[in-house]
């Protein structure tokens, strides 16, 4: 454009107008007349607009929401590519999301069709800012184009810009985006091998291997030993394959001063639009996943949302179905016995929630509890479960079953305020059940979320006479010293430690540390997820007090569980049909 300002002062503006309706061209020119006199070249297709852009001198483009052969988004993209410096004013009513997107695609301003009084001033501003914007953009592009000097790869700013465009386009392209955050494990070791050039050599080699292994990915280096890749996913599973391929490039050794160096990498993956809808969040999420991969032992791929867990679509459907599920009586509690290692009698039962979904059948809590938590439905469902579990103790007692203790799981969302102790107190009174018959299971991680609040809650529950158990113990980083301050009765050692207890020395040591400490504090230990004889033997040797797991009994519906409770039930004498329940008598 004529950038000296004189053109603007004359208010004579050469414009490209791409409007959906022919009338719009006239109306816009009319509306802007006070501020500018528009010399109009109009087109009604993207192709037509591009021809004009190529052949005419233009100061500004005015485009409407609908274009003959596409949307204003396509047109914005096309104009960006053809004449990036041409200011573009979009005349359309856009919601907040679309507004942000329009600006990201290069719109200079957006004016609502109902607010055409703003059009003239918007054009004037666009012309004035256009010059400045072009200068700034050139400067920014120069910075963006600056490549990482070691590997020659693009850096963070360039990656973000590329991802931004890809994200805006992915819905129309019919694909999703996966961001793979790759961090070389123990890269320090390489630098310790020699001078910095050793590290640089390896980083260059990593970059080259990533390029070869993932030709369709956009690869950037964020600094240090961090590489970030963007992969478009047209077929389900291709991002998974890409992540595996990224880890696999480390299979062959790297050569430093003639010596082989074996390295591994951790990869965190997040995908859009499922895990995040903007670039910053997407990268942050993938980074969180890589931390998790490191924490779990490195040399692995970790998805932000674990594969197989609920996708966003499934979450929406689940939420819809969860509404009213209580009223439709679709929930049910199953009960899984826990056995005293010493006496082999049933020490209590854990109530485990099941959802009899009209279409999907029996659903396990991991599939729907996170959704219920996310959408604020867990309080109601949790209260229902508490009610049913306490009512069940009453029913068992009414048919002559000796007092049995029921453990009820509560979600982190139920821990805020004093709603939980109030609910528990009310229900114990309603069903006339002794507080000692109830145990509340709270996961370690939800306690650690807000320790002072959790402490208040634990004290309140204890004051009622209810027992408190820390579930999934060992997964939530409680410092063992903390335990002294927690008024708890039971530690449930997480299944992951039990799984390896029979063969790995490490987990044996963890279990030993926990049982020793627990004994010292007068706290009982329960090992959950016991599936094998060997695990049971080892747990007994490690002084675990109580065991629970498929080896002894699966979670059962009430009707199947009740007969087990009729008498004292030693582990070795449960007998009967294994049936659907998979009841097993280990010895
Ligand atoms: P959790 O409290 O750790 O419950 C133990 C889980 O381990 C149960 O899974 C149980 O079926 C399973 N399990 C028991 N023995 C074995 C075994 O030998 N091997 C294996 N692999 N698994 C075993 P389930 O019923 O699917 O429940 C999953 C989680 O859902 C529970 O973990 C608990 O955190 C949550 N949950 C269950 N019911 C409720 C509820 O009423 N409210 C809330 N907030 N959460 C619940
Ligand atoms: Mg539990
Ligand atoms: Mg558990």
For residue range 358-371, list pLDDT tens digits in order.
877 889 998 899 88
Name the pLDDT band for 4 (thresholds 50, 70, 90).
very low
Could you identify the atom of ligand 1 that is nearest to the CA of residue 389? 41
Above pLDDT 70, what percent of the chain?
Answer: 88
For the ranges 73-87, 456-470, 473-487, the one whose mean pLDDT is highest: 456-470
Torsion angles phi and psi, residue 370, rounded to 5: -60, -35
* Distance in angstroms (rounded) separating the CA atoms of residues 118 and 315: 42
Place of tokens 């320090």: 188
Q: Whose CA is nearest to atom 33 of ligand 1?
A: 409
Q: Whose CA is nearest to atom 35 of ligand 1?
A: 365
Name the pLDDT band for 311 (thresholds 50, 70, 90).
low
Name the pLDDT band for 144 (thresholds 50, 70, 90).
low
Please give the pLDDT value at position 99.
Answer: 83
Of residues 64 and 578, more confidently modeled: 64
Please give the pLDDT value at position 544.
Answer: 97
Of residues 157 and 228, more confidently modeled: 228
- When the pLDDT of each residue in the chain is averaged and rounded to a whole number, the result is 85
Tokens standing for residue 352 = 């485990």
Q: CATH number for 331-566: choose from 1.20.120.1080, 3.20.20.450, 2.10.109.10, 3.40.140.10.
A: 3.20.20.450
Judged by its nearest atom, the ligand closest to the C-alpha of residue 494 is 3
Tokens standing for residue 339 = 């056995």
Of residues 50 and 318, more confidently modeled: 50
Torsion angles phi and psi, residue 533, rounded to 5: -55, -45
Q: How far is the CA of 509 from the centre of ligand 2 (A)?
A: 23
Average pLDDT for 293-316: 68
Q: So where are the chain's domains?
A: 8-143, 156-321, 331-566
Could you identify the atom of ligand 1 that is nearest to the CA of residue 410? 44
Run of H or E including 504: none
Query: Cβ neighbours of residue 222 under 8 Å, at least 6 residues apart?
Result: 155, 156, 159, 228
* Distance in angstroms (rounded) separating the CA atoms of residues 49 and 70: 12
CA–centroid distance for 391 within its chain: 36
Please give the pLDDT value at position 239.
Answer: 85
Residue 505 reports pLDDT greater than 60: yes
The answer to whether residues 45 and 67 touch, using CB atoms and an 8 Å cutoff, is: yes
Query: Cβ neighbours of residue 61 under 8 Å, at least 6 residues apart?
Result: 15, 16, 17, 18, 49, 53, 79, 86, 87, 88, 89
Sort 299 into a burial class: Cβ within 10 Å, 0-12 / 13-18 / 19+. middle
Q: How far is the CA of 478 from the centre of ligand 3 (A)?
A: 15
Q: Whose CA is nearest to atom 34 of ligand 1?
A: 409
Least confident stretch, 253-257, 305-309, 430-434? 305-309
Place of tokens 């409680």: 478
Superfamily name and number for 156-321? Reverse transcriptase/Diguanylate cyclase domain (3.30.70.270)
Could you identify the atom of ligand 1 that is nearest to the CA of residue 365? 30
Sort 10 into a burial class: Cβ within 10 Å, 0-12 / 13-18 / 19+. exposed
Please give the pLDDT value at position 97.
Answer: 76
Q: How far is the CA of 586 from the centre of ligand 2 (A)?
A: 23
Average pLDDT for 275-281: 82
Q: How far is the CA of 553 from the centre of ligand 1 (A)?
A: 13
Residue 181 reports pLDDT greater than 90: yes
Average pLDDT for 291-305: 82
Q: Whose CA is nearest to atom 15 of ligand 1?
A: 549
Of residues 22 and 390, more confidently modeled: 390
Could you identify the atom of ligand 1 that is nearest to the CA of residue 492? 3
Could you identify the atom of ligand 1 that is nearest to the CA of residue 334? 25
Q: Whose CA is nearest to atom 46 of ligand 1?
A: 409
Residue 39 reports pLDDT greater than 70: yes
* Distance in angstroms (rounded) separating the CA atoms of residues 370 and 411: 9
Average pLDDT for 245-258: 91
Least confident stretch, 108-122, 130-144, 364-378? 130-144
Region of 308 on the Ramachandran plot (φ > 0 left; ψ -120 to 50 alpha; else beta): left
Q: Whose CA is nearest to atom 25 of ligand 1?
A: 352
Average pLDDT for 326-337: 95
Of residues 313 and 239, more confidently modeled: 239
Residue 138 reports pLDDT greater than 80: no
* Distance in angstroms (rounded) separating the CA atoms of residues 236 and 233: 7
Please give the pLDDT value at position 398.
Answer: 92
Q: How far is the CA of 372 from the centre of ligand 2 (A)?
A: 17
Could you identify the atom of ligand 1 that is nearest to the CA of residue 373? 44
Judged by its nearest atom, the ligand closest to the C-alpha of residue 352 is 1
Which DSSP string do the residues of 401-465 spell out, in sequence order? -----EEEEE-GGGGSTTHHHHHHHHHHHHTT--GGGEEEEEEHHHHHHSHHHHHHHHHHHHHHT
The answer to whether residues 561 and 581 touch, using CB atoms and an 8 Å cutoff, is: no
The answer to whether residues 37 and 13 touch, using CB atoms and an 8 Å cutoff, is: yes
Average pLDDT for 223-242: 87
The answer to whether residues 469 and 447 touch, using CB atoms and an 8 Å cutoff, is: no
* Distance in angstroms (rounded) separating the CA atoms of residues 214 and 96: 36
Q: Whose CA is nearest to atom 4 of ligand 1?
A: 352
What is the CATH code of the structural domain delimited by 8-143? 3.40.50.2300
Please give the pLDDT value at position 446.
Answer: 85
Q: How far is the CA of 258 from the centre of ligand 3 (A)?
A: 50
Which DSSP string do the residues of 515-553 spell out, in sequence order? HHHHHHHT-EEEE-----HHHHHHHHHTT-SEE-STTT-
Residue in 365, 423, 555 to alter for ligand 1 test, most ligand atoms within 8 A of Cβ: 365
Q: How far is the CA of 494 from the centre of ligand 3 (A)?
A: 6
Q: How far is the CA of 470 from the centre of ligand 3 (A)?
A: 9
The answer to whether residues 318 and 367 touch, using CB atoms and an 8 Å cutoff, is: yes
Name the pLDDT band for 123 (thresholds 50, 70, 90).
very high
Of residues 400 and 140, more confidently modeled: 400
Residue in 373, 409, 423, 539 to alter for ligand 1 test, most ligand atoms within 8 A of Cβ: 409
For the ranges 311-320, 386-395, 558-567, the one whose mean pLDDT is highest: 386-395
Region of 255 on the Ramachandran plot (φ > 0 left; ψ -120 to 50 alpha; else beta): beta
Residue in 528, 532, 534, 547 to alter for ligand 1 test, most ligand atoms within 8 A of Cβ: 528
Q: What is the CA radius of gyration of the chain?
A: 32
Please give the pLDDT value at position 192.
Answer: 79
Could you identify the atom of ligand 1 that is nearest to the CA of residue 550? 18
Could you identify the atom of ligand 1 that is nearest to the CA of residue 353? 38
Q: Which residues are within 5 Å of ligand 2 (an ion), measured at CB?
A: 409, 441, 471
Name the pLDDT band for 206 (thresholds 50, 70, 90).
very high
Could you identify the atom of ligand 1 that is nearest to the CA of residue 408? 41
Please give the pLDDT value at position 570.
Answer: 40
Q: How far is the CA of 78 from the centre of ligand 1 (A)?
A: 54
* Size of the chain, expressed as the number of residues it contains: 587
Ligand 1, pocket residues at CB < 6 Å: 336, 352-353, 364-366, 369, 382, 385, 409-411, 441, 471-472, 528-531, 548-550, 555
* Distance in angstroms (rounded) separating the CA atoms of residues 282 and 271: 7
Q: Whose CA is nearest to atom 17 of ligand 1?
A: 529
Looking at the DSSP bridge assignments, the partners of residue 177 are 232, 272
Please give the pLDDT value at position 581.
Answer: 32
Residue 196 reports pLDDT greater than 90: no
Tokens standing for residue 449 = 């979320």
* Distance in angstroms (rounded) separating the CA atoms of residues 523 and 464: 18
* Distance in angstroms (rounded) separating the CA atoms of residues 59 and 108: 13
Name the pLDDT band for 427 (thresholds 50, 70, 90).
very high
Judged by its nearest atom, the ligand closest to the C-alpha of residue 493 is 3
Please give the pLDDT value at position 573.
Answer: 32
Residue 529 reports pLDDT greater than 90: yes
């Amino acid at each position: 454009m004529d950038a000296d300002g004189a053109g603007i002062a004359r208010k004579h503006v050469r414009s490209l107008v791409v409007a959906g309706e022919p009338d719009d061209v006239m109306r816009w020119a009319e509306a802007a007349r006070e501020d500018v006199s528009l010399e109009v070249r109009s087109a009604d297709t993207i192709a037509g607009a591009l021809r004009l852009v190529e052949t005419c001198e233009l100061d500004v483009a005015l485009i409407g929401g609908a274009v003959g052969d596409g949307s204003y988004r396509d047109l914005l993209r096309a104009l960006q590519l053809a004449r990036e410096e041409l200011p573009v004013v979009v005349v359309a009513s856009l919601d907040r999301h679309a507004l942000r997107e329009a600006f990201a695609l290069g719109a200079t301003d957006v004016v609502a069709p109902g607010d055409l009084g703003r059009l003239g001033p918007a054009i004037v501003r666009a012309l004035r800012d256009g010059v400045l914007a072009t200068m700034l953009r050139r400067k920014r592009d120069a910075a963006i184009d600056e490549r990482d000097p070691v590997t020659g790869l693009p850096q963070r700013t360039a990656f973000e810009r590329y991802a931004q465009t890809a994200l805006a386009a992915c819905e129309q392209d019919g694909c999703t985006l996966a961001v793979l955050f790759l961090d070389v494990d123990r890269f320090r070791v390489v630098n310790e091998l020699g001078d910095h050039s050793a590290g640089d050599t390896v980083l260059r080699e990593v970059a080259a291997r990533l390029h070869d292994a993932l030709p369709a990915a956009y690869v950037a280096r964020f600094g240090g030993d961090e590489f970030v890749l963007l992969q478009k996913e047209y077929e389900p599973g291709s991002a998974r394959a890409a992540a595996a391929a990224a880890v696999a490039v480390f299979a062959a050794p790297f050569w430093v001063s003639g010596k082989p160096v074996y390295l591994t990498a951790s990869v965190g993956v997040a995908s859009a639009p499922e895990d995040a809808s903007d670039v910053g969040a997407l990268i942050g999420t993938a980074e969180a996943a890589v931390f998790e991969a490191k924490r779990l032992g490195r040399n692995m791929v970790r998805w932000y949302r674990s594969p197989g867990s609920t996708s966003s679509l499934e979450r929406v459907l689940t939420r819809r179905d969860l509404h009213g599920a209580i009223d439709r009586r679709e929930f049910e509690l199953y009960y899984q016995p826990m056995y005293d290692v010493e006496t082999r009698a049933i020490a209590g039962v854990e109530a485990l929630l099941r959802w009899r979904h009209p279409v999907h059948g029996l659903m396990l809590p991991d599939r729907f509890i996170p959704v219920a938590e996310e959408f604020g439905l867990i309080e109601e469902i949790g209260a229902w479960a508490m009610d049913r579990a306490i009512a069940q103790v009453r029913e068992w007692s009414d048919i002559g079953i000796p007092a049995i203790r029921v453990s009820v799981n509560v979600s982190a969302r139920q821990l805020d305020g004093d709603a939980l102790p109030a609910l528990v107190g009310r229900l114990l009174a309603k069903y006339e059940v002794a507080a000692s018959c109830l145990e509340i299971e709270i996961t370690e991680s939800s306690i650690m979320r807000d320790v002072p609040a959790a402490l208040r809650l634990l004290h309140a529950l204890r004051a009622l006479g209810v027992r408190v158990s820390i579930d999934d113990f060992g997964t939530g980083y409680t410092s063992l010293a903390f335990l002294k301050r927690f008024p708890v009765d039971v530690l449930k050692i997480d299944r992951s430690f039990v799984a390896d207890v029979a063969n790995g020395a490490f987990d044996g040591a963890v279990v030993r540390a926990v049982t020793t400490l627990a004994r010292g504090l007068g706290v009982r230990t329960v090992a959950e997820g016991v599936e094998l004889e060997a695990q049971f033997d080892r747990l007994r040797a490690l002084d675990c007090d109580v065991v629970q797991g498929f080896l002894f009994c699966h979670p059962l519906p009430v009707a199947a569980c009740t007969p087990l409770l009729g008498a004292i039930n030693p582990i070795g004498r449960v007998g009967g049909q294994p049936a659907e329940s998979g009841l097993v008598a280990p010895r």
